[in-house]
Chains A and B, each alone.
Chain A
């Protein structure tokens, strides 16, 4: 079981089956919407997990890249009349470029300094989005024209469930391949000890920067999908500081350094608030309590801790 779950292709196959089978259990569009949001956040979190779990770098401003993706789609299609998909690609390229430019100086920092620098970057993006009202509609946000492909308007949550599911699958395949590649091994070496990996001949700065750029592109694509799904975006909702914290929480809760963990973390944090509404005024209390308890009992994150238990007890 444990070996099965950690093998590359069984993860991809399992995920594909889950994405394809879930709709049979969905009684209404509401479920499709929640699942689509899980897919979208999972995509961003898989990217962030590469940075945090493998390269060992914290980013507290990752929602900023989601904001770049979301607003590229909105501004591209509303102001420049670009096709939505083209705008999404431009957004991904832009996010990658921004990550490259800010990553060079920022990634020289370590620990708290890195966290604070990325935090500042995220705030900067969301402030810029809120202030450039002529382009972004200001703090109240702007509408996103519906995506049209071959004359067919994509609007239903079910449609976006399948699209976001496909995107997540591609994202997971890329991430898993990367982890198994020499780059992935170099990343893990950096995570364990920067000095040791430098001694082993790994260009630490270059690898860090590459992963930072890659994770920014993941977040940007996720942001674009979110914009298409919702049809209306706001600076706080896409690029806000709380959104960044939420992404980091998903990584830690699901399990750092685990692709499946990233998806589980996203699913738990998206679905829990929906399930906890039965507690009415105590829902936030319950949410905090559940996260605390799971971090105490499963300190390495849900997936790695459970896998370790299976390995220990089941073999």
Chain B
């Protein structure tokens, strides 16, 4: 019978191949350090994945030009999931099973990150995510970390500012997209902690073009001292314009979701006086020299703009921070062994990055506090830092 002999030959071949792989492994370990990155470079989340990819390629080239990490070259393996969690999971399996990476810096969106987490937990390989939601690190997962601030922190930063100004009664108008909804929930959760009372709540769809009715309701509600607008994209710009048209005479707070020059362009004059929390990267040139983040954000934005010819975004900054936290952990561990690097990532203390100063612990796999956000106010069509 031909089948059994073919079968046994396959088994022998497979056994031989795996024996060779085992024999070859120690020699290979001294070669390149493999870092994986599954990013949403194309598709609806490309505004996240594209700067992240460019940033990682830039820093890996830099590190390799300076002799690599521990004298070993870093090989970056990037896969594009196009924003599809299912594809992300497949590429994660590929990184782990085929490419044998010893760490991953990636996961542009919360959806792709959540889809990939089980793969990294099973394989016991550290995974530094670049996505926002708090559910990535709460409850704490042994192998998962993240660099961006959470929307909870944005709410807290805003409420902290309100408290300073003795504002306690507010109105809220939130987008119903993923970002707006998630942040709205977090704001409602932490409002009590700052003694803030949400008197009235409104919402709008991601494609709505007029929010005057909702804002009129808020205007007519007696006692509202400020309005907060968790949202993303063009919605907040329309809210800002309508807010001005209705001459609502209380401060308007926007979220870190609109922290880009585009927003000022869209909202025009109405943006004047709007306050929002944002990462230091956005105001790199306006930071006082005494600011510990000044050096890193100025250097990163200069390097990124020179290399890519595009303005910096906070998302690329998240990838920069993820890479640096991993690099420093590998240097401290003196190996790229997954378990040892994970332990060192968790011990990250006082790392000064584009997103803030990172102090991780076994219970906090993000390590940022409210100082990571700067409170900005838009004046004369530009950002100013509010103290």
Residues of A participating in the B interface, judged by any CB pair closer than 8 Å:
24, 27-30, 33-34, 37, 130-131, 133, 138-141, 143, 155, 157, 226, 230-234, 236-238, 242, 273-274, 277, 283-284
Q: How far apart sit A138 and B114, CA to CA, in the bound complex (Å)?
A: 13
4 smallest beta-carbon distances between A and B, as pairs: A139-B178, A30-B97, A28-B97, A237-B85
Q: How far apart sit A28 and B90, CA to CA, in the bound complex (Å)?
A: 13
Pick from B14, B86, B122: contact of A230, CB under 8 Å: B86
Whether the Cβ atoms of A24 and B7 lie closer than 8 Å is yes
How many interface contacts (CB-CB < 8 Å) are there between A and B?
Answer: 83
Residues of B participating in the A interface, judged by any CB pair closer than 8 Å:
7, 10, 14, 17, 42, 79-80, 83-87, 89-90, 93-94, 96-98, 109-111, 114-115, 117-118, 122, 133, 135, 176-178, 181-182, 185
Q: How far apart sit A274 and B114, CA to CA, in the bound complex (Å)?
A: 21
Pick from A28, A130, A232, A238: contact of B118, CB under 8 Å: A232
Q: What's the minimum C-beta distance from A290 to chain B, rounded to whole angstroms?
A: 17
Measured between beta carbons, the chain B residues less than 8 angstroms from A34 are 90
Q: How far apart sit A236 and B176, CA to CA, in the bound complex (Å)?
A: 16
Measured between beta carbons, the chain B residues less than 8 angstroms from A284 are 42
Known: A236-B83, A236-B85. 5 other contacts (CB 8 A): A230-B115, A232-B114, A232-B118, A236-B111, A284-B42
Quick one: given A155-B122, A284-B42, are A138 and B115 in contact (CB under 8 Å)? no
Q: What's the minimum C-beta distance from B206 to chain A, rounded to whole angstroms?
A: 10
Quick one: given A29-B93, A140-B133, are A133 and B115 in contact (CB under 8 Å)? no
23 inter-chain pairs at a CB distance below 8 angstroms, sorted by A residue, are A24-B7, A27-B14, A33-B89, A133-B185, A138-B178, A139-B111, A139-B178, A140-B135, A141-B85, A141-B111, A231-B118, A232-B89, A232-B118, A233-B85, A234-B111, A234-B115, A236-B84, A236-B85, A237-B85, A237-B111, A242-B84, A273-B87, A277-B79
Pick from A130, A230, A242: contact of B85, CB under 8 Å: A230
Quick one: given A30-B98, A140-B110, are A274 and B93 in contact (CB under 8 Å)? no
Whether the Cβ atoms of A24 and B10 lie closer than 8 Å is yes
Measured between beta carbons, the chain B residues less than 8 angstroms from A133 are 181, 185
Measured between beta carbons, the chain B residues less than 8 angstroms from A29 are 93, 97
Measured between beta carbons, the chain B residues less than 8 angstroms from A155 are 122
Whether the Cβ atoms of B178 and A140 lie closer than 8 Å is yes
Whether the Cβ atoms of A234 and B181 lie closer than 8 Å is no
Measured between beta carbons, the chain A residues less than 8 angstroms from B86 are 37, 226, 230, 237-238
Whether the Cβ atoms of A33 and B80 lie closer than 8 Å is no
Q: How far apart sit A232 and B181, CA to CA, in the bound complex (Å)?
A: 20
Measured between beta carbons, the chain A residues less than 8 angstroms from B93 are 29-30, 33, 157
Q: How far apart sit A236 and B88, CA to CA, in the bound complex (Å)?
A: 13
Measured between beta carbons, the chain B residues less than 8 angstroms from A274 are 90, 94
Quick one: given A28-B98, A237-B84, are A141 and B122 in contact (CB under 8 Å)? no
Whether the Cβ atoms of B89 and A230 lie closer than 8 Å is yes
Among B7, B110, B133, the one with the most A-chain Cβ atoms within 10 Å of its Cβ is: B110
Measured between beta carbons, the chain A residues less than 8 angstroms from B94 are 30, 274
Closest to B185 in A: A133
Measured between beta carbons, the chain B residues less than 8 angstroms from A230 are 85-86, 89, 115, 118
Measured between beta carbons, the chain A residues less than 8 angstroms from B111 are 139-141, 234, 236-237
Q: What's the minimum C-beta distance from A278 to chain B, rounded to whole angstroms?
A: 11
Q: How far apart sit A141 and B79, CA to CA, in the bound complex (Å)?
A: 22
Q: How far apart sit A139 and B206, CA to CA, in the bound complex (Å)?
A: 13
Pick from B7, B17, B85, B182: contact of A232, CB under 8 Å: B85
Closest to B115 in A: A232
Closest to B3 in A: A21
Measured between beta carbons, the chain A residues less than 8 angstroms from B122 are 155
Closest to A229 in B: B89
Whether the Cβ atoms of B80 and A141 lie closer than 8 Å is no
